[in-house]
């Protein structure tokens, strides 16, 4: 449905093209869904792609199993596969990277050839580094020191706040990198109290020294007054 939709298709089957120039250059690619003007426009042999939005996966040629939802999402992808981009212009410059995930408008805009990268949050650009994860609104965000806990991650990439053994029993993880916010806060308060006590002691010591200097000056003045007057000796030669 749409001008030039699936115009050059030869043997590709089970494709859906809705919109001007959707899947126009498709040749042998099958099982693709293109909804939006120029969606999957350059696709030739890519399969099992879902492109929903104007220009979504527009430059894809032979990449497969990509999911692009949003205008110009994964627009520059040529041969990358298994990418997921949700949001307008998500992963817009990814050319042949694979297995990347971007959620949010303009998410993953720095990824071009990296693989297995995750960018979550609007305008979280990430970096062109494979096997990395970027999540917005965490850095510099405040949390309650009284209820904050350490977040752990295991080799299965599962996140949690409690470590357990193979039987599901809770265990203690000893790690110098783990922080205990409440304990740290208590220690900080102790240090602040100690500093205040030391400052008070220094102030009292300074006052004592000042008083001693005053006493020394008084004693020095009295000594000067108690000295005998100088005598003159007359030489009668």
> What are 66-102's pLDDT values in tens digits?
999 999 999 999 999 999 999 999 999 999 999 999 9
Domain boundaries along the sequence of the chain: 1-134
- Window from 14-18, 183-187, 202-206 with minimum mean pLDDT: 183-187
Pick the CATH number of 1-134 from 2.150.10, 3.30.70, 2.40.160, 2.30.30: 2.150.10
Q: Where does the pLDDT of residue 50 fall: very low under 50, low under 70, confident under 90, or very high at 90 and above?
A: very high
- Cα–Cα nearest to 108, from 78, 77, 139, 138: 77
DSSP 63-131: --S-EEESTTTTTT-SS--S-EEESTTSSTT-SS--S-EEESTTTTTT-SS--S-EEESTT----S-SS
pLDDT of 236 > 90? The answer is no
Evaluate if residue 163 carries a pLDDT over 60.
yes
Tell me the pLDDT band of 6, cut-offs 50, 70 and 90: very high
Which region among 113-122, 177-186, 201-210 has the lowest average model confidence (pLDDT)? 177-186
Using CA atoms, how far apart are residues 121 and 104, in angstroms rounded to an integer?
Answer: 5
User: Is 0.75 topped by the overall pTM?
Assistant: no
Distances (CA, A) of 187 to 154, 184, 212: 30, 5, 37
Separation CA 74–CA 69 (nearest Å): 9
């Amino acid at each position: 449905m749409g001008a030039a939709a699936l115009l050059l298709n030869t043997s590709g089957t089970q494709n859906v093209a809705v919109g001007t120039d959707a899947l126009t250059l498709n040749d042998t690619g099958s099982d693709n869904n293109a909804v939006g003007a120029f969606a999957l426009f350059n696709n030739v042999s890519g399969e099992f792609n879902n492109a929903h939005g104007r220009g979504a996966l527009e430059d894809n040629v032979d990449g497969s199993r990509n999911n692009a939802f949003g205008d110009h999402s994964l627009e520059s992808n040529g041969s990358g596969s298994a990418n997921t981009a949700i949001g307008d212009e998500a992963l817009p410059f990814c050319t042949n990277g694979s297995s990347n995930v971007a959620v949010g408008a303009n998410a993953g805009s720095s990824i071009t050839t990296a693989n297995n990268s995750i960018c979550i949050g609007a305008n979280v650009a990430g970096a062109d580094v494979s096997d990395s994860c970027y999540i917005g609104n965490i850095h510099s965000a405040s949390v309650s020191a009284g209820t904050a806990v350490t977040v752990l991650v295991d080799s299965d990439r599962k996140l949690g706040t409690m470590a357990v053994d193979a039987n599901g029993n809770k265990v203690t993880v000893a790690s110098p990198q783990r922080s205990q916010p409440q304990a740290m806060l208590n220690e900080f308060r102790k240090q602040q109290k100690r500093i205040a006590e030391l400052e008070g002691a220094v102030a009292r010591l300074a006052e004592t020294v000042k008083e001693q200097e005053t006493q020394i000056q008084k004693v020095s003045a009295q000594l000067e007054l108690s000295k005998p007057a100088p005598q003159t000796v007359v030489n009668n030669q």
